Every structure is written in structure tokens, then in C-alpha cells.
Amino acid sequence: MDIKVITIPVGPLKANCYIVYSDENDKLLVIDPGGDFSVIENKIKSLNKSGGAVLLTHAHFDHIMATSEFQNAGFKIYMHKNDMPLLEGDGNLAKYLGLKLTRFSVDNELIGGLFDICGFRVEVIETPGHTAGSVCYKIANILFSGDTIFKESFGRFDFPSGNLKTLVLSIKKLFAIQENLVIYSGHGEVTTLDAERNTNAIYNYF
């Protein structure tokens, strides 16, 4: 399947939301809708698709703020089970920016493994460290890394359920993948796994 990706910076922190689609599939995936629902929705309408699923890399507000609106529109919501506590308390960080998170339910509490989601073959890679339930999604040769790894950098580990040692182990797991994946991260520019194997600042903590 020929996978296509549209990047839309959303919300107050301009986190990257991704629309993943294929001309061969009438459904699509939305990864980390962190706000600006109408902007994302208008782009989806332009693709003439009939809905799909929302995949969350973790439960921080800047990646989930528009999720309730997608659920109301009929999208199924996927998130790792270990980030569920962040939805119920202050761990999603919304209140620290004076924002109110509209609650939503998670239709599928994920674990690591291979899944067919709306006709897409999605590998869920458990990468805790930024949060306890942080994951990366591998679709074809693309890795959607959330806030686990960025171009030449990596996610913070000082928020609720974060842990530096765990984050280092998670990034080592990614570096062990025997492919040069294209990395679409939660913030910033596109990079590749080979580039990060050579230049990422996480090596300062290895």
C-alpha cells in the first residue's frame, strides 16, 4: 500500500498532527490531533475519505485536545493502556496552560504488537520514558515517534510518569531496528533513523 502523510501543526504548541492515507483505502488514520479540529477536518474532507481512527502516541494535551471531536465524528480512538491515568488527572498537563481537556473514551487500549487498523498494517512499538504509555507507530517505512525522539533530540522525561533510564532504553530499541525509517515526530522536522543513530543528543545519556 502506498502510504501518504500530511503534516498539520496544531494547538498552542504547534505539535505535529499527521493524516495518514492511501489512494487504495477509503479510510484514514489521524495521529495526535492536538487541537484545531476544523483545520484537520477540512483537510480530511478534501481527501474524500469516509472516516477512520485516531492513534495517540501519548496522553499530553498538545497531542490529544481534538480527540473528543473526532470521537463525536465517529472515529475510533487508540492509545496505550499505560497512559490512561494521565487522562483522568493532571498528568495530561492541560491545566498548566489554563486549558480544559474535553474528556473522551479510549476505544482500544493498546499494547505492543502488529494490528490491522482501518485496513492499515500498524506496528505499535512500546517506547516508555516521555510518559509510561508512550508509543511509536510504524506504518510501512515510516515511524511516527510522538515525543520519544526528535531530529537530533528526544522527549522530556520530567513530566508525570516520565523516566530518563526508560527513555534511553526505548530509544536504544528504536536504534536496533534494522531499517532506515523516516521519522515523523511530535514536534519539529522530519528525520531518519540512520541520521539519529549518528547524531541524536540522547547519546549523552547512554
Residue 23: give its domain's CATH number: 3.60.15.10
Residues in the chain: 206
| Residue 179 clears pLDDT 90, i.e. is over it | yes
Range of the domain at 87: 4-205
Q: Hey, how many other C-beta atoms are within 10 angstroms of the C-beta on 100? A: 9
Angle of CA points 186, 3, 45, to nearest 5°: 80
135 is written with which cell numbers?
Answer: 508509543
82's CB contacts (< 8 A; 6+ apart) are 128, 131, 132, 133, 161
Percentage with pLDDT > 90 across the chain: 97
**What domain count does the chain have?**
1
Percentage with pLDDT > 70 across the chain: 100
Widest CA span in the chain = 46
**Nearest residue to 28 via CA among 10, 9, 12, 43:** 43
Q: Is the whole model's pTM more than 0.95, yes or no?
A: yes
**Nearest residue to 123 via CA among 132, 114, 131:** 114
| Mean pLDDT value of segment 193-205 | 97
63: confidence class by pLDDT, cuts 50, 70, 90: very high
Residue 1: per-residue pLDDT: 82
